[in-house]
Amino acid sequence: MSMCFKERAGIRWGHSLYFASSHIKQQAVHQAGISSTRSKMSHGRGALIVLEGVDKAGKTTQCKKLVNALIESGRPAEIMRFPDRTTQIGQLINAYLEKKSNLEDHVVHLLFSANRWELEPLMRKKLEQGISLVVDRYAFSGVAFTSAKPGFSLEWCMKPDVGLPKPDLVLFLQLHPLDAAQRGQYGSERYESSDFQKVVLQRFEQLMKDKSLNWQVINAAKSIEDLHAEIKSHSETAITVAEFQPIGKLWK
Ligand X SMILES: Nc1ncnc2c1ncn2[C@@H]1O[C@H](COP(=O)(O)OP(=O)(O)OP(=O)(O)O)[C@@H](O)[C@H]1O
Which residues of the chain form contacts with Mg ion (CB under 5 A)?
A: 59-60
Rounded to a whole number of angstroms, the minimum distance from the CB of residue 208 to Mg ion is 19
Q: Is 2 in the site for ligand X (CB under 6 A)?
A: yes
- Which residues contact residue 185 at a Cβ distance below 8 angstroms, ignoring those fewer than 6 apart? none
Q: Work out how close the CB of 2 gets to Mg ion at its nearest, in angstroms, rounded to a whole number.
A: 6
**Of 21 and 223, CB closest to ligand X:** 223
**129 touches ligand X (CB under 6 A):** no
Q: Report 19-38 residues binding ligand X (CB under 6 A).
A: none
Backbone angles phi, psi at 33, to 5 degrees: -60, -40
Q: Report, in Å, the least distance between residue 63 CB and ligand X.
A: 8
Question: Binding of ligand X at residue 59 (CB under 6 A)?
Answer: yes
| Residue 131 amino acid letter | I
Kindly state the DSSP code that residue 101 receives in the 8-state scheme.
Answer: S
Q: Are 19 and 26 in contact (CB under 8 A)?
A: yes
As measured in angstroms, the least distance from the Cβ of 142 to ligand X is: 14
Residue 228 within binding range of ligand X, rule CB under 6 A: no
Give the bridge partners for 33, in sequence order: none
**Segment interacting with ligand X (CB under 6 A) among 8-16, 58-66, 149-157, 195-203:** 58-66
Interhelix angle 194-207/139-147, nearest 10 degrees: 120
If the CB atoms of residues 111 and 227 are measured against ligand X, the closer one turns out to be 227
Distances (CA, A) of 15 to 126, 138, 143: 10, 16, 24
- By the 10 Å C-beta count (0-12 exposed, 13-18 middle, 19+ buried), 222 is classed as middle
Footprint (CB under 6 A) of ligand X, residues 168-187 = 183-184
Which positions touch ligand X (CB under 6 A)? 1-2, 53, 55-61, 183-184, 222-224, 227
